[in-house]
Structure 1
Amino acid sequence: MVRNLAMLVGAAFVVVLGWALFWTVQGQITDPAAPSIETSEWHKHPKELELESNGVFGKFDNRQLQRGFQVFKEVCSACHSLHHVSFRDLQKIGYSEAQVKAIANQWVIEQPSINPDTGEPATRKNVPSDHFPSPFANEIAARAANNNANPPDLSLMTKARHDGPAYVYSLLTGYEPQSAEMLKEFKDVKTPEGLHANPYFATMNIAMPPPLTSEGQVTYLDGTKPTVDQMAKDVSAFLVWTAEPNLTARHSYGWPVIIFLLIFVFLAWGAYQNVWRNVKH
């Protein structure tokens, strides 16, 4: 009795699933979903970006990371924060302790504090143990200064976005006017006032104006020619480091572990053959 009841319930379940699948497929055929700009040819896939950190043998190029930090400091830090990175972390990319102290002390945005004498809000100079401060006091202030858009923290940006560094690089170099053909097909994506057209952004329009606008916007200390393309590559590489500062160490540990596992598998197979060698099948 119980078995028959269970079979009946199972059959009913299959019938309901089949019925739902039938109407779903029929709905897709008779009333297909409207085309989306995100899946159209107008929404571009990130460009290829070759960095030293790419691949299983990837490692960081400290010179490039320092150039990327320059771009962040002189361009990006006006709107974006690095909440998960402290000033002293810069020693990992080749800055000396004295240089880090100077960078922290001279950083334009100071740390929020309290005046011990009056109890009133105040600020103080940054020290190496401090994290990079936000350029805005809070989200309301950030939105007020950016046409109601809240600039995201960049610490983990290359981890949070698909194709991470390639996405950042493409976004920075991808601003372009919208074509008449695209607007004819997708009228609702016409760039509204206060936004900027960028085919690498999900909605095709982004609140951030082009941050890298001309060659020489940043003067590199190592003499590298600061083209827009070069600055975009360098800051993308820097953001890979902020998201995963231990990438080089992780890669260096990975291969010994793989080799150990291969040797272990071989030894386990040899032990198996030795233990069962006299057992007839």
Structure 2
Amino acid sequence: MIRLIGFFVGVAFTVAVLWAFATGAYTAATEPAAPTAEHEFHRTPRPLHLASDGPFGRWDLQQLQRGYQVYKEVCSACHSLKYVAFRDLAQLGYTEAEVKATAASWTVPGIDPVTGETNTRPGTPTDYFPSPFPNDIAARAANNNAIPPDLSLMTKARHDGAAYVHSLLTGYQDQPAELLKKFPDAKTGPGLHYNPYFANLNLAMAPPLSDDQVTYADGTKATVDQMATDVAAFLTWTAEPSLIKRKQTGWAVMIFLVFATILAWFAKKQVWAPITPKRPKKD
């Protein structure tokens, strides 16, 4: 009796699940989803061309150094770079002395060797970039209840990578009148900033860049677009420092495989030649 009851309960549950699925599928197929401001006004990133793009890409070391400068002087006030060590900057063309000097210009958490208490000290090349906030609570308190994301892997974590970063940094604007007319409830709230390249159109981060905000050592004009491009290139490097080496290795592997394939074909011809039947000549 118990097994029979269990069987009918299982059948009823199966029927209910199938019915729910069928009605849901029918509704989705026949009734279009309600339009949203995010769906209609969100924009895909604008194309961005960097020296590292493509199968023959190369790092532009001057651009990467400029991007690091933008990060240090602007972005580091809110965003961490916790997966990058100061010694990694040597890959950008800095000398050992410059890396040590750069590391020492940062303050990192430390421990007093005598008392064991936590303190701060100048950074060393083996240290990683420190977080600007001691904890998430402090980060939220300073950023309108939003935690600024770590930027180490940002161009890998977001679709379109560097183009997304560049478009986001240069995409701040006033809300379109059309949006407010069509979606009155989508008005940007206090403490938020409209940006069509962000998923929900509103950012807690204020526009971080302005013209001539930094002074480049190589004399490049520090426009908003230039700084956004440079820091996007820098974050492309932080996300995958081995990018160019990987491409070079890929070409070497491809050349080897082509060469090995040709050798294998000739070897096959040589090995099978004695037993390969010859085609009769046509009259």
TM-score over 0.5 for the pair: yes
Question: 2:204, 2:168 → 1: CA distance?
Answer: 12
* C-alpha contact 1:139 1:150 (8 A) present in aligned 2: yes
Take 1:138 and 1:19, find their aligned partners in 2: how far apart are those partners? 48
Alignment of 1:211 with 2:208, yes or no, is: yes
What does residue 222 of structure 1 align with? 218
1:158-188 alpha-carbon deviations (Å, 9 max, x no partner): 0110000000000000000111211233334
Residue equivalent to 2:86 = 87
The answer to whether the 8 A contact 2:45-2:164 is kept is yes
The percentage of aligned residue pairs carrying the same residue is 60
Letter of the structure 2 residue corresponding to residue 51 of structure 1: L
Match of 2:237 among 238, 241, 251: 241
| Deviation for aligned residue 1:229 | 0.7
Q: Distance in 1 between matches of 2:175 and 2:88?
A: 41
Task: List gaps (5 residues or longer) in structure 2.
Answer: 1-15
Q: Is this contact kept in 2: 1:171–1:201, CA < 8 A?
A: yes
**Is 1:161 paired with 2:158?**
yes
Instruction: Render the CA deviation track for 1:54-102: whole Å, top value 9, x for unaligned.
Output: 1111111000001111100100000011111111111111111111111
Partners of 1:37 and 1:275 lie apart in 2 by: 68
What is the distance in 1 between the residues matched to 2:156 and 2:118?
35
Pairing 1:1-281 to 2, within 5 Å after superposition: 23-40=23-40, 42-107=41-106, 110-213=107-210, 215-277=211-273, 278-279=275-276
Q: Is the 8 A contact 1:114 1:121 kept in 2?
A: yes
Aligned-pair CA distance for 1:253: 1.3
Deviation at residue 25 of structure 1 after TM alignment: 4.5
Give the Cα separation in 1 of the matches to 2:272 and 2:192: 72
Unpaired runs of 5+ residues, structure 1, are 1-15
Alpha-carbon shift at residue 46 of structure 1 (Å): 0.4
**Cα distance in 1 between the residues matched to 2:269 and 2:137:** 69
Deviations along 1:130-167, one digit per CA (max 9) or x if unpaired, are: 00000111111111111111011101100110000000
In structure 2, distance between residues paired with 1:176 and 1:258: 46
Output the amino acid matched with 1:87. F
Number of residue pairs the alignment of both structures matches: 263
Equivalent pair of 1:59/1:247 in contact (CA under 8 Å): no
Report the alpha carbon displacement of residue 39 of structure 1 after superposing the two structures with TM. 3.3
Root-mean-square deviation (CA), in Å? 2.4
Asked if the contact 1:147/1:207 (under 8 Å) is kept, the reply is yes
From the superposition, tell whether residues 121 and 17 of structure 1 become closer, same or farther in structure 2 (CA, over 3 Å).
closer
- Residue identity matched to 2:189: P
Q: CA deviation at 1:274?
A: 4.3
Q: Quote the offset at 1:35 in angstroms.
A: 2.1
User: Is the contact made by 2:67 and 2:231 (CA closer than 8 Å) also made in structure 1?
Assistant: yes
Q: Secondary structure at the match of 1:169?
A: helix
1:175 and 1:196 in contact (8 A); partners too: yes
Larger Rg: 1 or 2?
Answer: 2
Instruction: Verify the 8 A CA contact 1:189 1:203 in the aligned structure 2.
Output: no
Structure 2: distance between partners of 1:27 and 1:270:
62
Aligned residue identity for 1:262: V
